[in-house]
Amino acid sequence: MSEEIKVIRIEDVPHFVGQTVKIGVWLRQKRGSGKIAFLQLRDGTGFMQGVVVSADVDEALFKLAEHLKQESSFYVTGEIHEDSRSSFGYEMAVSAIDMVGESEGYPITPKEHGTDFLFDQRHLYLRHQKPYATLKIRDEIIRGIYDFFYQDGFLKFDSPILTDSAPEGTTELFPVDYFDQTAYLSQTGQLYVEAGAMAFGKVYDFGPTFRAEKSSTRRHLTEFWMIDAEMAWMHQEQSLDVQERMIAYLIQRVVDNCQTELEMLGRDADKLRSYTKLPFPRVSYDDAVKLLQDNDFDIKWGVDFGSPEETFLANYYKTPFFVVNFPKAIKAFYMKRHPTRDDVVISADLMAPEGYGEIIGGSERDTDYDYLKQRLIDQHLDLKEYDWYLDLRKYGSVPHSGFGLGLERFIRFVAGEDHIRETIPFPRTLNRLHP
Ligand code: ATP
Ligand code: MG
C-alpha cells in the first residue's frame, strides 16, 4: 500500500519542499497555453501557484485543469518546489485534482470593478487579496490590543451595548424598542469604564459601537469597534504616555508579523516603522487653529475640526501627534477643566499622519460632583440617567483619565486604505446595510 498523502495548508508549504502533499483550495485565476496550465490557488491561509504540465500528466487531468472555473473548490495534490519568481517562493507541480464544489459565473472577474459593485458582493469580495490582507492586519491589531493591555496591567471590562443614556449627544443615536421604553445602541463605553476604573484601577472595553452618522465620509461608519481605556489615579500626561506606547506597539506588531500583507497592499513598512518613534508631538488646539489660519483655512477659534482641517494637519506633521486642550464648548461634559483657563478642557485627540486624521479622542475627567451636575444641566441632559455616574464623584472621587481608540480608523491608517469601509468585514454606512 502506498503511504498516505499528507493534507496541509498553504501556510505550511515551506516545510514540505520536495514532498507530495494535498491541499484544499479555491481557484482564483488560471492562465496557460495548450501545454501548461498555471492555477492561482488560495486556501485562506495563503496564495500559491499550481502548475499542470500536459506532458507530465494524463490527458483527463490536463483537460480538467484547463476547464476549471474561477472560485471552484477542489483538493489539489502534487510535489512542492521552490520558485524564486513568485513572492511566495514555492509552487506545486500538480499531479491530481479532486473536485469538491463547482462554480459557475462567479461575478468578480479579473477585470476592474467599481467599488459599489464590490461591496454589493462583499460576501465574495472578502476572498480577494486586498480584503484578505486588510482583514489579516485587523486580526493582528485586535490580538495586539489584548496583549498590550494585558501586559500593561489592565482588566478587560465589557461595557453594555444597550443603554439609556447618550453621553455624546442624541443626534447620532440608534433607538431600539426595549419593552416599554426606548433604549439606545451604545455610542461609546466611556462612562461605564469610569465605573470600572474605580473598581479595578485600569480597565478597557473593546466592542461594537453605533453612531447614526448622517454624512458619508471616508472615516465614518455607523457600526464600528472601539476601545475605551480608563485609568484611576492617572493624569492626562500619563494617559498620553499609555496611548503613544500602545500605538507604537501595535504598529511594530503589524510591521513584524504582517510583512506579506503590507506588501500586498503596497504599504511601506519603513514608513510605518518611523511612526514608532516616541514621544509624539503635543500641539495645542490654539496653535493648530493658528496654523490652519496661516494656511488659508477659514476657521475660527472655538469650532471643531472637520475632515479638511484634520487632513491638512495630518499631512503637515510627519508623525502621529496629539492636539491638546480643545475648547470646552465642543467637548463632552465630563472633560476636566483647565487649571488656569476657563475656555478649554484637558483633552487630546491623536491624529494619524498622511492625511488619515483623528484616531483617538481622550481626556482627563473632572472629579467634582457639583461641577459635573451643573454641566449636565447646562447641556440639557437628563440627571436621572446619570445618577450612577455622579455617584462615582460622591464616593471617593479620584483623578482619572482615559481615551477611546477607533479600531477601523487605526486599521485604515496602518493598512494605508483610502476608505474606512475596507477595514471591517461587513461595513455599515449611511447607504449600506446589505449584505
Ligand atoms: P469625529 O470628529 O471624527 O467624528 P469624534 O470626535 O466623534 O470623531 P470620539 O467621540 O472622540 O470621535 O470617538 C473616539 C474615536 O472613535 C475617534 O477618535 C475615532 O477613532 C472613532 N470614531 C468616532 N466616530 C467614528 C465613526 N463614525 N466611525 C469609525 N470610527 C469612529
Ligand atoms: Mg463624530
The mean pLDDT value for 371-379 works out to: 95
The mean pLDDT value for 97-107 works out to: 98
Asked if residue 91 has its Cβ within 6 Å of ligand 1, the reply is no
For the chain, give every residue range classified as CATH 3.30.930.10.
122-423
Above 70 in pLDDT, residue 168?
no
At 221-269, the pLDDT tens digits run 999 999 999 999 999 999 999 999 999 999 999 999 999 999 999 999 9
At 17-67, the pLDDT tens digits run 999 999 999 999 999 988 999 999 999 999 999 999 999 999 999 999 999
Residue 376 vs residues 96, 128, 165, 342, 382: alpha-carbon distances, Å: 71, 49, 12, 17, 7
| Mean pLDDT taken over the chain | 96
Please state, for a pLDDT cut of 90, what percent of the chain lies above it. Answer: 92
All three cell numbers of 388, joined, read: 450612577
Q: What is the reported pLDDT for 215?
A: 84
The mean pLDDT value for 305-316 works out to: 91
Label residue 139 by pLDDT band (50, 70, 90). Answer: very high
For the chain, give every residue range classified as CATH 2.40.50.140.
6-101
Nearest-CA residue for ligand 1 atom 5 is 361
Alpha-carbon span 89 to 80, nearest angstrom? 10
Q: What is the reported pLDDT for 170?
A: 67
Asked if residue 409 has its Cβ within 6 Å of ligand 1, the reply is yes
Above 60 in pLDDT, residue 1?
no
Above 60 in pLDDT, residue 108?
yes
Alpha-carbon span 435 to 427, nearest angstrom? 9
Alpha-carbon span 52 to 68, nearest angstrom? 12
CATH number belonging to the domain at 122-423, selected among 3.40.1360.10, 3.30.930.10, 3.40.50.2300, 3.20.20.100: 3.30.930.10
Q: What is the reported pLDDT for 87?
A: 86
- Sheet of strand 155-156: strand arrangement: 155-156, 202-210, 223-232, 400-406, 357-364, 347-352, 321-324, 282-284
Alpha-carbon span 164 to 298, nearest angstrom? 38
Using most ligand atoms within 8 A of CB, pick from 185, 358, 414 the residue to mutate for ligand 1: 358
C-alpha of residue 406 to centroid of ligand 1, in Å: 6
CATH class of the domain whose range is 6-101: mainly beta
User: Counting atoms of ligand 1 from 1, which one is nearest the CA of 410?
Assistant: 20
Q: What is the reported pLDDT for 35?
A: 95
pTM reported for the whole predicted model: 0.96
* Three-state secondary structure readout of the chain: CCCCCEEECHHHHHHHECCEEEEEEEEEEEEECCCEEEEEEECCCCEEEEEEECCCCCHHHHHHHHCCCCCCEEEEEEEEEECCCCCCCEEEEEEEEEEEECCCCCCCCCCCCCHHHHHHCHHHHCCCHHHHHHHHHHHHHHHHHHHHHHHCCCEECCCCCEECCCCCCCCCCCEEEECCEEEEECCCCHHHHHHHHHHHCEEEEEEEEECCCCCCCCCCCCEEEEEEEEEECCCHHHHHHHHHHHHHHHHHHHHHHCHHHHHHHCCCHHHHHHCCCCCCCEEEHHHHHHHHHHCCCCCCCCCCCCHHHHHHHHHHCCCCEEEECCEHHHCCCCECECCCCCCEECEEEEEECCCCEEEEEEEEECCCHHHHHHHHHHCCCCHHHHHHHHHHHHCCCCCEEEEEEEHHHHHHHHHCCCCHHHHCCCCCECCECCC
Tell me if 119 sits within 8 A of 396, measured CB to CB: no
Contacts of residue 84, Cβ cutoff 8 Å, sequence gap at least 6:
none
Asked if residue 331 has its Cβ within 6 Å of ligand 1, the reply is no
At 414-428, the pLDDT tens digits run 999 999 999 999 999
C-alpha of residue 280 to centroid of ligand 2, in Å: 23
